[in-house]
Copies of this chain bind each other. A is one copy, B any other.
Amino acid sequence: MNILLVFAHPEPRSLNGALRDIAIRTLEAEGHAVRQSDLYAEGWTSEVDRADFPALAPDGRLIPVAASKQAFEAGTLTDDVKAEIDKLLWADVLILQFPLWWFAMPAILKGWVDRVFAYGFAYGVGEHSDRRWGDRYGEGTLAGKRAMLIVTAGGWEEHYAPRGINGPIDDLLFPIQHGILYYPGYDVLPPFVAYRVDRLDEAGFERVAEGLRERMRTLATTPPIPYRPQNGGDYLIPSMELRPGLGAPGASGFALHRADADAAG
């Protein structure tokens, strides 16, 4: 398979850098073609602003959604964004690797999403009717491809447990996994998360490394998170609310949007 790893840590001599190298070596040993977007090393620009839309009149009002649509259609996105879009179209699997900073992506990676996920490419795709609400959430440009997160966290695993104070890790990652990756069509694999990474000794590192190698070796066969496709009948149109009766009784929150939430009730 073709695999794109987007890496968002400023220090190559970090735990993240070491895990990145392990992931790439393992994937290559499996016979995959691997490309990388090393955002810090490449000096990625994080901010969506006027410079993203060179075709916009100098005194024109910048409406980001409209400007993105116009630039994608006219082929006037900037070269750095176009190169990332080409990589995404090339890759069968997208891996985003980052340290969890303030319970979310580092800004540089959010800026990669904000700038690369253009209107007409990652959103604003497909017809809107009484039976469909665009190609999103399981359909879209990137449907048929797989995506996965590799995340490091300084905190304890228990603090991210179902009743942990930070909130469950699955819920913290939902805006990324469902909102950013499933939205344009990716099948999203369960994340690989390493905890307490500031305190890892050699044995701890080796445990993490072996877990990551195993996930890299099983990239093609790991079942994705069973998010509900938008246009598969589970949602009312146009309100896009989950149909009454679906989801475990009394359940709420992000977990409702997994098809296995029905069985869990």
- Taking Cβ atoms with an 8 Å cutoff, the residues of A that contact B are 10-11, 13-14, 40, 46-50, 61-65, 99, 101-108, 110-111, 113-114, 117, 137, 154, 156, 158-159, 161-168, 171-172, 174-175, 178-180, 198, 230, 235, 238-242, 247-248, 250-257
- Cross-chain contact B163 with A179 (CB below 8 angstroms): no
Complex formed: what's the CA distance from A10 to B11 in Å?
Answer: 29
Given contacts A107-B48, A239-B156, A253-B253, contact A13 B167 (CB under 8 A): no
Q: Which residue of B lies closest to A239 (CB)?
A: B158
What are 15 residue pairs bridging A and B, where the CB atoms are less than 8 Å apart in the complex?
A46-B107, A47-B108, A65-B154, A102-B175, A103-B179, A104-B175, A159-B239, A163-B252, A164-B240, A167-B175, A171-B253, A248-B250, A250-B250, A250-B251, A253-B254
Contact A257 B158 (CB under 8 A): no
- Distance, CA A62 to CA B238, complexed state (A): 49
A156 touches B238 (CB 8 A): yes
Q: Is there contact, CB below 8 Å, between A104 and B107? A: no
* Interfacial chain B residues near A65, Cβ < 8 Å: 154, 198
Cβ distance A198 to chain B, nearest Cβ, rounded Å: 6
Nearest CB on B from A9, distance (A)? 9
In the complex the two chains form, what is the Cα distance from A202 to B256 in whole Å?
A: 36
Given contacts A240-B165, A252-B251, A252-B255, contact A47 B13 (CB under 8 A): no
| Interface pair A168/B10, CB less than 8 Å apart | no
Are B180 and A165 in contact, with the CB atoms below 8 A? no
Structural contact, B103 and A256, CB atoms closer than 8 A: no
Q: Chain B: which residue is nearest A249 at the CB level?
A: B250
Nearest-neighbour CB distance to chain B for A4, whole angstroms, equals: 18
Of B63, B102, B180, B238, the contact of A180 (CB 8 Å cutoff) = B102
User: Complex Cα distance A65/B254, Å?
Assistant: 30
Q: Are B167 and A174 in contact (CB under 8 A)?
A: yes
The interface residues of chain B lying within 8 Å CB-to-CB of A175 are: 102-104, 167, 172, 175
Which residue of the partner chain, among B46, B168, B254, contacts A111 with CB atoms under 8 Å?
A: B46
Q: How far apart are A157's CB and chain B's nearest CB, in angstroms?
A: 9
